Structure 1
Amino acid sequence: MKKPNYISPGDFSTTFFDGVLRSKEFDDIYFSPLNGEEESNYVFLEGNNLRDRLTINNNFTVGELGFGTGLNFLLTWKLFNDLKLNNTYLDYISIEGYPLPINQINKIYERYPKLVKLWIELKKEMPPLWSGTHRIILNKGRVRLTLIYSDALEALKLSNFSVNAWFLDGFNPNKNKDIWSMDVMQEVYRLTKPSGTFATFSSAGFVRRNLEQAGFNVKKIKGFKFKKEMSIGQKKGKKQHNKIFSKYVIVGGGIAGASIAQALRQRGQSPLVIEKNDKLAQGASGNIAAVQYPRLTTVNTPAGRLSLSCYRFSRNLAKKLGVAINDKSIIFSIPEREAIKHNKLLSQGWPKDLIRKISKEDKLAIANFDFNLNGIVHDHGGTIEPVKFVNNLMPDDIEIIFGKEIHGFTRSTEGWTITLSDKTKIKTEILILTCSDGLRKIKQTSVFNLQYTQGQVTHLDENKFKNIPSTNFSFSGYLTPPVNGIVTVGATFEKNSNERSYITEEASNINLNNIPNEIFRNIFSHNVNLNKLDGRVSMRVSTFDRMPMMGQIEDNLYILSALGARGMIMAPLLGEELASIMRKNISENFIWYV
């Protein structure tokens, strides 16, 4: 049995015979093939009084230990749909150390006609078997499934969410004692809202004692059918009521602003967006093409976990919005420090569909010949169209003010009063800053120690190539396949330079000279003129440790910025996360598994 870690989830042997899926290691079935639906309904949904509680909670969060086949989630989702509730949202957070392959789960739901339609819908969104956090949006944003593929105790310790009801659904406590340990139950209690509940099929003495010592009021009730007993319980305390706001203003119409606007709209809100330019995606989000791939780390770090979670979410979203080119992402082992890192990553046992060694076929896709360069490939990665991404993501039924800058904002009785460049004043309860270079012009954010870096990309007409690359590749820069006939090569990193809006031949030469010689001479046409090329320049802002800024600056003032060159990867999931924080859907500081 392979245990889960930050590189890959765990794996153990299973058998499937006559409708029964069984774990060999724990010698236990996932659920009864005779009455699995009834048992799960009785133990977890009825055990937590879910039907009644969903009708009186606008935002309800279920936590689960043991996703398994997803049966409990599908039943909860079905109940949520059957209740036909208006303005109600369901968050379902499930931790699973040993996720099952899709083909195994498929066999199960062939036997469950009541759930097969929901399973087919969920199956389209299920993530690869990669460690970490995977957010899935269903029911147009009204249902959010967060799968955390990790060791349970590690995931719980790294999490900060608040649960209304827990489904404790690990394997038999006598055979899988770790998930029922005192340490795990203490974390479950910490992450439970006051008056929150749990339910489990187990009535084992040590399980009940651990739950009681963690702080729960525990009692035994009649078990399902022939099972004598099961356990339910509740955390002491009164239910907390958070103030819900309805007026939101987002400053910035790039990928960060669009991501937050979409997330708020899915939660029933209509934010106002203020964009200083005359259309969306005119800053760092405005390039013709961009590349999506994760920044994996050879050791378990918050940066590595965050990058992987954001990558999966953003890449999937780009495909759904029709802005992804059907290619992959190749990163060459240049310079030497990258070669050392790549060799380490390739030796660590990461899933092959996440990262693998470059092949001859990959090289042929770039230059139509096999050259002598090493590298890695992310098959789920690829090229996107950023401007289209932003426009397709931004809701089309919200108000956007174009051509106005904010000159400042002050506290008001409602929250904030914003003054625009034409002296117009706008009042809002919540203000969200997603601008980049504009941060240094705002009093409240000008004190941040940020790095402002100018970057220029170079545009090449595809007729300059004798071999047009069919996939993107990165070196000390990057080169993309053509988008509307234009190949993008980028990008310079001009630290501490004077801000400019014009392109320079010097910057174009830097971009072109970074292309490895083995590739350069085989992709461009003979005697091609590479002078006076077109391009684009924009300002990027980042923190010095390259981690993004997302969260609350002060009461009712929030930020999503400092994304550097990773906005197209980071912003969509962080925008979704920030909306959860602002709407109090999960907790005031809902940072999961980071």
Structure 2
Amino acid sequence: MPAYVPLVPPAAEFGPDGQFRSALYGDVYHCTDSALGQAEHVFLRGNGLPERWRGRQGFTVCETGFGLGLNFLALWHAWRNDPARPRRLHMLSIEAHPFAQAALRGWLRQLAPEALRGLVGQLADQWPACLPGLHRLEFEDGAVTLTLAFGTAAALAPQLRASVDAYFLDGFAPDRNPDLWQPALMRDLARLAAPDATLATWASAGHVRQALRDAGFQVRRQAGYGGKWHMTAGVRAPQSAPAVDDAWAVARAADGAGSGEVLVVGGGLAGAGVAQALALRGRQVCVIDAAGPDSAHAGHVAAALTPVIARDDNPRARLSRAGSQRAMARWGALPPGAAPWRCGTLQLERDAGRTAALEETLRQLQFPADWVRTVDRDEAAALAGVPLARGGVFFADGLLVRPASLIPALLDTPGVRRIGAQAAALRRVADGWQVLAAGGKVLGQGATVVLANAFGAQALLRASGLLDALPRMAQMHALAGEVSLLPAQGWAGGPRCIVGGEGYLLPPVDGWCVAGSTYEHGAAVAEVSACGQQANLRKAAGLLGQLPAGWAGLQPGQLPGWAGWRAVLPGRLPAVGPLAHAPGVWLAAGYASRGLSWSALTGDLIAACLQGEPLPLPADLLAAVAPR
């Protein structure tokens, strides 16, 4: 991706003529009195809809210029009203100037046509924070998805991965916003086109039609709408199919019809995230894990899920942001105890100099204040409800998660079955792969296998003759760590939000505050220890300025706690994606200490590819986490 560029908010208002206008571009968003008619005439009928989607399992639309979302609402409305609709409908829409949630809700209440009013609240309720990148929204129990790409089209279009059946080209007028009609952008969008893709736009300028022809479309002028003489419609020109060498496309093809059972090796955070994402899309899943119903996180009372920020908005920061948003959306409807608690996170730096640097980073990134903001010591203490050593930044979306409850809830998704066994090797067979136990017993067979068994994936790849092509995976190592449970009654009931920095301290769960965590290189076992508890108490004291009087008498070695392993790769990014040298085999491993951040995101990433959906991550992040 190009260098980070903050999002520019829209400057929208009603003009003297009563039309809803962009002050940035001096153009109308749409005709106020005929928005639905325009969407139906130009974009739906211009793309042959709803007729073209009938008889299909899925249909994908790509839009330039989301605006207030009226085209999406019209498309969704048409899908709802068509008895012969496709099973799944996807829209991928680019928007450089997204509205804030409250503004979007308010404008749509005023401007949405009556026929679409029933959908407005659903869209506004799910509307994401105005953060750069891709945001996945789901409606109709996941049958309708909206993938919002926030940023400039020139930067984002080359990064998108989808198979597009229809294009809605709906930016501001070419003479007002020429960047959205450039030949290079048309070529980038055309790269996503399915063989029979169509397009439609209200624009009919000659240079726009020529750019579309040069991008590989056969275009024609036809009758316009709302006072416009003409509009443009088109269809992808016949062309020979290119050789498929993209690992994601090969893996999708290896999955066959996309209906067979998927084998997932590993039943922890990684495997449970993949299993749930696939099962929610109607796939049958078999999870193979030696622990059986007893997760490796049994006894792990609570953990924190907090985004990362970095001045250059590097891949780790962008992935953590996307992972946090996906976890909230994917896990929010789980049963009480398993669903995350959005309590917020206070991130405290070690000293005043680092705090100042963090504040400067936020000024440069210009993230919305309702997502992250700086707080001084007094405000931090008020948010936490306890005295703190210093101020820092507050993430409103900080989540407290109970892994021991979350993982079983994910694995209880209908369509997921479990086998309590240790996978030892993979064996290629004519129609896919077999997962074998140590004695050669076949534990499962399928066209697609996902290795989500943390550090165990390395040994499994080695035993299967697949590790030599993955030098980074060969460097994966296991790192032990532990958390300690501190009694909430010893400290005024504990903090009201997550307090993080050099270590972390969580709000109480069942009367205990979790403090963590340790990092033990070269450990032979992961165990609760007096040394580890002393380290966790020291970190808690650093966040608070000193240990509360009620905790001063706690004896390291006599506290409850939990210990486990992290699978760590060079660079501390996970390995997620298909194996190019073993079509049908996927990796979801190396989550390090960010298992909660990656679980829902990577599950949806793998499931989206297998089910032919637009991918919820841009290409450069796919490359950053690709198994290698």
TM-score, structure 2 length as denominator? 0.87
- Secondary structure of 1:309 counterpart: helix
Secondary structure in structure 2 of the residue aligned to 1:558: strand
The alignment status of 1:49 with 2:75, answered yes or no, reads no
Q: For residues 441 and 526 of structure 1, what CA distance do their matches in structure 2 show? A: 43
**In 2, distance between residues paired with 1:387 and 1:569?**
16
- Residue 10 of structure 1 deviates from its aligned partner by 1.5
Q: Give 3-state SS (helix, strand or coil) of 2:185's partner.
A: helix
Decide whether aligned partners of structure 1 residues 541 and 61 sit closer, same or farther in structure 2, where only a CA change above 3 A counts: same
For 1:431, the equivalent position in structure 2 comes to: 449
Within the alignment, does 1:189 sit opposite 2:187 as a pair?
no
**2:311 corresponds to 1:293:** no
Once residues 203 and 534 of structure 2 are traced to their aligned partners in structure 1, the CA distance between those partners, rounded to angstroms, is: 68
What SS does the aligned partner of 2:572 have? Answer: coil
CA contact (8 A) 2:307 2:320 kept: yes
Residue 348 of structure 2 is aligned to residue 361 of structure 1: no
1:315 corresponds to 2:341: no
The match for 2:246 is none
Describe the shift of the 1:336–1:574 C-alpha distance in structure 2 as closer, same or farther (beyond 3 A).
farther
Whole-angstrom distance in 2 between the partners of 1:28 and 1:367: 49
Shift of residue 530, structure 1, vs aligned partner: 2.8
CA shift, 1:432, in A, is: 0.8
Is the contact between residue 289 and residue 423 of structure 2 (CA under 8 Å) also seen in structure 1? no
Q: Does 1:234 align with 2:235?
A: yes
Match of 1:202 in 2: 203
1:267-316 Cα distance to aligned partner (Å, 9 max, x none): 22111112211325424x86211112111121143333222222222134
Deviation at 1:592, TM superposition (A): 5.1
- The answer for the alignment partner of 2:12 in structure 1 is 14
Aligned to 1:513: 538
* Aligned positions, number: 587
1:591 deviation in Å?
Answer: 4.1
Check if 1:528 corresponds to 2:553. yes
Aligned match of 1:440 in 449, 452, 458?
A: 458
Q: What's 1:556 paired with?
A: 584
> Which secondary structure state, in structure 2, belongs to the residue aligned with residue 315 of structure 1?
helix
Change (3 A) 1:86 1:16: closer
User: Residue 402 of structure 1: CA displacement?
Assistant: 4.3
Structure 2 unaligned regions, length at least 5: 242-251, 622-628
Q: More deviation in 484-493 or 509-518? A: 509-518
Separation of aligned partners in 1, 2:65 and 2:21:
14
Shift of 1:100: 1.9
Residue 331 and residue 108 in structure 1: after superposition, are their counterparts in 2 closer, same or farther (change >3 A)? closer
How far 1:335 sits from its partner (Å)?
A: 6.3
From 462, 476, 479, the equivalent of 1:453 is: 479
Q: Is the 8 A contact 1:197 1:234 kept in 2?
A: yes
Q: Give the superposition deviation at 1:585.
A: 3.1
Other structure's SS at 2:405 match: helix
The aligned residue for residue 319 of structure 2 is 306
Amino acid at match of 1:15: E
Letter in 1 for 2:390: L
Counterparts of 1:378-527 in structure 2, within 5 Å, are 378-420=395-437, 423-442=441-460, 443-444=463-464, 448=473, 449-466=475-492, 468-500=494-526, 502-517=527-542, 519=544, 521=546, 523-525=548-550, 527=552
Matches within 5 A, 1:65-464: 65-85=64-84, 88-105=87-104, 106-110=106-110, 111-237=112-238, 243-245=256-258, 246-279=260-293, 281-283=295-297, 287-321=300-334, 322=336, 323-334=339-350, 338-339=354-355, 341-348=357-364, 349-359=366-376, 360-366=378-384, 368-369=386-387, 371-420=388-437, 423-442=441-460, 443-444=463-464, 448=473, 449-464=475-490
Structure 2 CA distance for partners of 1:280 and 1:533, relative to 1, 3 Å: same
Task: Note the C-alpha offset of 1:497.
Answer: 2.0
Q: Partners in 2 of 1:336 and 1:549 — Cα distance?
A: 35
The Cα of 1:57 is off from its aligned counterpart by 2.4
Identify which range, 451-460 or 387-396, moves more after superposition.
387-396
Out of 427-436 and 528-537, give the one that drifted further: 528-537
Deviations 1:470-497 (A, max 9, x none): 1111122111011111211111111222
- Paired residues of 1:325 and 1:384 also in contact (CA < 8 A): yes
2:380–2:391 Cα contact (<8 Å) kept: no
C-alpha RMSD of the superposition: 2.6
* Partners of 2:359 and 2:374 within 8 A in 1: no
TM (norm. structure 1) is 0.92
Return the letter of the residue paired with 2:272: A
Say if 1:249 and 1:430, in contact at 8 Å, map to a contact too.
Answer: yes
Check whether the contact 2:59–2:86 (CA below 8 A) recurs between aligned residues: no
Shift of 1:138: 1.5
Question: How far apart are the structure 2 equivalents of 1:142 and 1:53?
Answer: 18
Match for residue 602 of structure 2?
Answer: 574
Q: 1:455·1:493 contact (CA, 8 Å) conserved in 2? A: yes
User: Identity across aligned pairs (percent)?
Assistant: 25
CA deviations 1:152-186 (Å, max 9, x no partner) are 11011222322111110001111111111122112
Structure 1 residues 250 and 426, CA gap change in structure 2 (3 angstroms): same
CA distance in 1, matches of 2:491, 2:419: 38
- Which stretch shifts more, 111-120 or 150-159? 111-120
Q: Deviations over 1:128-149 (max 9, x none)?
A: 1222211112211211111011
Relative distance call for 1:286 and 1:92 in structure 2 (3 A) is farther
Distance of 1:97 and 1:518 partners within structure 2: 39
**Does the CA-based 8 Å contact 2:302-2:401 persist in structure 1?**
yes
Q: Where do residues 57-68 of structure 1 align in structure 2 (5 Å cutoff)?
A: 57-68=56-67
Q: Distance in 2 between matches of 1:540 and 1:140?
A: 34
Aligned amino acid, residue 405 of structure 2: K
- The answer on whether the counterparts of 1:298 and 1:341 sit within 8 Å (CA) in structure 2 is no
- For residues 137 and 511 of structure 2, the distance between their equivalents in structure 1, rounded to whole angstroms, comes to 34
Query: Compared with structure 1, are the counterparts of its residues 526 and 308 closer, same or farther at alpha carbon in structure 2 (3 Å cutoff)?
Result: closer
Question: Is the partner of 2:115 in helix, strand or coil?
Answer: coil
Is contact 1:194–1:239 with CA below 8 Å preserved after alignment? Answer: no
**Conserved in 2, the CA contact under 8 Å of 1:141 and 1:267?**
yes
Higher mean displacement: 404-413 or 438-447: 438-447
Range with greater deviation from structure 2 (58-67 or 577-586) = 577-586
